[in-house]
Amino acid sequence: MATDPTVEPFSETEMADWCEQSEGFAICGTRMKEVRRESVGIKWCFACRKRAAFEFVVIAPDGLSYYGPEGYHECTNCKARESDLFPGWTREYED
Ligand SMILES: [Zn+2]
């Protein structure tokens, strides 16, 4: 019995809501959709190292999911998340 070496079991990814396979690796997670986006003004971006317009983005699971909505600041220049925070810092969001 020969087995196809290019087909590997994705045991980790079976837990995810969705998986995409591309060039030999898989991207998995909960499918999220954007529910809110508002400007938070110009801030320094630690990712692209320049002042850029930031937006507060809220995403929520598309459909039933274990996960709740989450929000983050996104740099409109380089699309990095939370790059207006010092590296290693985290932000706590409140409703
Ligand atoms: Zn940036």
- Domain-by-domain residue ranges, the chain? 32-89
Alpha carbon of 54 to ligand 1 centroid (Å) = 8
Percentage of the residues of the chain whose pLDDT score is greater than 90: 43
Does the structure show a pLDDT above 60 at 12? no
Q: Is the pTM of this model over 0.85?
A: no
Q: Would the pLDDT of 72 be above 50? A: yes
**Nearest to 57, CA basis, from 70, 47, 68, 45:** 70
pLDDT > 70? residue 4: no
How does pLDDT run across 16-42, given as a tens digit for each residue? 666 777 777 776 777 889 999 999 999
Q: Report CA(45)–ligand 1 centroid distance (Å).
A: 5
CA 23 to CA 27: how far, in whole Å? 11
CA 71 to chain centre: 10
* Listed residues: CB within 5 A of ion ligand 1: 45, 47-48, 52, 75, 77-78, 80
pLDDT band, very low/low/confident/very high, at 93 (cuts 50, 70, 90): low
